[in-house]
Structure 1
Amino acid sequence: MTGPTAKGPRPVVLVTGLSGAGKASILRTLEDLGFETVDNPPLTILDELVADGATPIAIGVDARSRGFQAAEVLNALGKLRARHDIATSLVFATADDAVLLRRFSETRRRHPLAPGGSLGSRVAEGIAREAALLAGLPEAADLLVDTSDLPLPELRRLIERRFRPEGAAGLDIAIISFAYPKGLPREADLVFDMRFLRNPHYDPVLRPMTGRDAPVAAFVEADADFAPFWARMTGLLELLLPRYAAEGKKYLAIAVGCTGGRHRSVLVAERLAAHLEARGRQVDVVHRELAPAPAPNAGGGASQAGREALAHSS
């Protein structure tokens, strides 16, 4: 595949993280974007891999390598970042232990660090060993991707927005609605808390609806504090977005949260997306808590959860 035309330093992306967290999917997405991809080379040849050429390159490095040490990766990363002819990024893929264990169980894959390669407790031991080996790398990452609740299509879109070739238009914006009890989206740059607005959940008529429904929108927007909040939030973004673009930022994730992630946050996310699109911005909207549940397994075929686990695993 012919790579994208490079403008400025050659992009170099190191991809690492926990087995089963999506490293292979990230590398495949980068390959589709025109990156040359190399999976799991010896760390000693990284300089050779990026020695010349203009095509962007993505390199997978992980605990499968003989003698792998996080300190060596950090040392190699520091050397690459010191070079002026390349622009180096580190992507770290992670997921909750329970999610990783489920993915290995569903796909019946061997964890590379599990003693004996069995499932169950030995897989859990392998996950713990790998996390210890990778200590220090999440803190050094330019992009930390938690795939615990991230569907594969959204993972691809996230990587595409972040690493699409130079020359793509403007600042890409993702707006993510979420529920606070399930945790903040780790990719968020800005977070707005909607829990101060009155909650449709306590209205039995509105409870089954979402922020996409007109009655819920009318209920939330009738809150006396909604209009002044909206004016201040959009005013803040009108100040920030041009400055982010001027600093060379290509991707901005705005997270909008509430208690359940179904009413207030969804409404504000939808309304904010329409507001920004009307001003010429490129916007994607993700409603994390409204994602469809995996279809139940009907018979002998693999379940949707199993297929997604296989796609995420690496």
Structure 2
Amino acid sequence: MSEPQQASQQTSPRVVIVTGMSGAGRRTAAHAMEDLGWFVVDNLPPSMVSQLVETARRGGQDRVAVGLDVRSREMFDQLPRSLAQLEVQGVRREICYLEANDDAIVRRQESARRPLPLQDGGSLIQAIAQERRMLGNLRADADVVIDTSNLNVHQLVHRVGHIYGSGDDQATRFQIMSFGFKNGVPVDADMVFDVRFLPNPHWVPHLRPQTGLSREVSDYVLAQPGAQEFLDQLVGLVNTVGPGYFREGKRQATIAIGCTGGKHRSTSMTEAFAARLRAEGVQVSVLHRDLGRE
């Protein structure tokens, strides 16, 4: 068999562009992917992405991640052309976008004592605003958005592992996230549901110090009128949208379930919902965003 024929029969690697706001954890996400066996290249000129993919193909690499941020100034001109070229080559490409709110970025940058790439002696807030504007189109085109505002490093690594750690790519994977509305709605969730229609265990003295991970709180929440019916509806929803997501190329989706503080009701319902989905063969991971927060 000739070399061109061999090359044509080689499988194109999966390519993920890892980008996002400075201070949002892009480098942590890239390192996590590297630990998962991905071939990771950071700050590669976008014009070289196609060459990298061809090199990875010849070397038998089936998963390639390219880290890009605003320091790669040429990416805003060259990246759209590079992504279009990958599509012509039949390469499946994705964009993973890391973001965080202004307060989180300011806190992290002040802790690291490093200026943002666009700061140039100006104010930190102005640099953040300028970066958001420059990255707006990439954010809109992203296949996966991870909001790290309320995540620690370990939670971020866990999320990356759920999204990019599985070799089974035959169905959309779901992350079920509990949260507290008082700490803000997760902006990276694909669907958000409110379980504050259920009685709050916070007002039951012996349940207040416990969490939804305890059997006693879970039994209390799940026994309330409407709880099981709500879970039935959610499972039916996933069975409906899951295949559609997959047909449209969406391989990861996040469903957020919120209560007041993210301690009792949302945690119990998230665990129960995830258990139901696993019983039906759905790939699921769980994140309790606000558990442990005051």
TM-score range, shorter chain: 0.7 to 0.9
Aligned to 2:118: 113
Contact kept? 2:42, 2:67, Cα under 8 Å: yes
Aligned CA distance change for structure 1 residues 75 and 245 (closer, same or farther; 3 Å): closer
Aligned to 2:32: 29
Answering whether residue 291 of structure 2 is matched by residue 290 of structure 1, we say: yes
Tell me the TM-score normalised to structure 2 length: 0.81
Aligned CA distance change for structure 1 residues 176 and 226 (closer, same or farther; 3 Å): same
1:174 counterpart letter in structure 2? Q
Aligned CA distance change for structure 1 residues 284 and 18 (closer, same or farther; 3 Å): same
Aligned to 1:164: 165
Aligned to 1:57: 64
1:161-310 matches, within 5 Å, as: 161-164=162-165, 166-167=167-168, 172-238=173-239, 241=242, 250-291=251-292
Q: Give the CA deviation at 1:245.
A: 6.2
Aligned CA distance change for structure 1 residues 259 and 250 (closer, same or farther; 3 Å): same
Aligned CA distance change for structure 1 residues 79 and 210 (closer, same or farther; 3 Å): same
Aligned to 1:74: 80
1:169 and 1:153 mapped to 2: Cα distance? 27
2:101 counterpart letter in structure 1? D
Aligned to 1:11: 14
Aligned CA distance change for structure 1 residues 101 and 79 (closer, same or farther; 3 Å): same
1:87 and 1:199 mapped to 2: Cα distance? 46
Contact kept? 1:97, 1:127, Cα under 8 Å: yes
Deviation string for 1:272-294 (max 9, x for gaps)? 2333344455432211110468x
Aligned CA distance change for structure 1 residues 11 and 183 (closer, same or farther; 3 Å): same
User: Matched residues, percent identical?
Assistant: 36
Aligned CA distance change for structure 1 residues 90 and 204 (closer, same or farther; 3 Å): same
1:203 counterpart letter in structure 2? V
Q: Give the CA deviation at 1:74.
A: 3.0
1:253 and 1:98 mapped to 2: Cα distance? 23
Contact kept? 2:195, 2:258, Cα under 8 Å: yes
1:170 and 1:24 mapped to 2: Cα distance? 27
Contact kept? 1:18, 1:95, Cα under 8 Å: yes
Aligned CA distance change for structure 1 residues 206 and 127 (closer, same or farther; 3 Å): same
Q: Give the CA deviation at 1:142.
A: 1.0
Aligned CA distance change for structure 1 residues 45 and 184 (closer, same or farther; 3 Å): same
Q: Which runs of 5+ in 2 are unaligned?
A: 1-8
Aligned CA distance change for structure 1 residues 128 and 250 (closer, same or farther; 3 Å): closer
Answering whether residue 44 of structure 2 is matched by residue 44 of structure 1, we say: no
Greater Cα shift, 97-106 or 190-199: 190-199
What is the root-mean-square deviation in Å for CA atoms of aligned residues?
3.0
1:109 counterpart letter in structure 2? R
Contact kept? 2:176, 2:256, Cα under 8 Å: yes
Aligned CA distance change for structure 1 residues 146 and 7 (closer, same or farther; 3 Å): farther
2:247 and 2:132 mapped to 1: Cα distance? 37
Q: Secondary structure at the match of 2:33?
A: helix
1:271 counterpart letter in structure 2? A
Aligned CA distance change for structure 1 residues 49 and 205 (closer, same or farther; 3 Å): same
Aligned CA distance change for structure 1 residues 91 and 233 (closer, same or farther; 3 Å): closer
Q: Secondary structure at the match of 1:211?
A: coil
2:247 and 2:68 mapped to 1: Cα distance? 33
1:115 and 1:247 mapped to 2: Cα distance? 41
Larger RCO (alpha carbons 8 Å, 6+ apart): 1
Q: Give the CA deviation at 1:39.
A: 1.5
Aligned to 2:3: none
Contact kept? 1:70, 1:136, Cα under 8 Å: no
Q: Give the CA deviation at 1:95.
A: 0.8
Deviation string for 1:37-70 (max 9, x for gaps)? 22212233233222343212211222112x4463
1:238 and 1:134 mapped to 2: Cα distance? 34
Q: Which runs of 5+ in 1 are unaligned?
A: 1-5, 294-314
Greater Cα shift, 181-190 or 11-20: 181-190
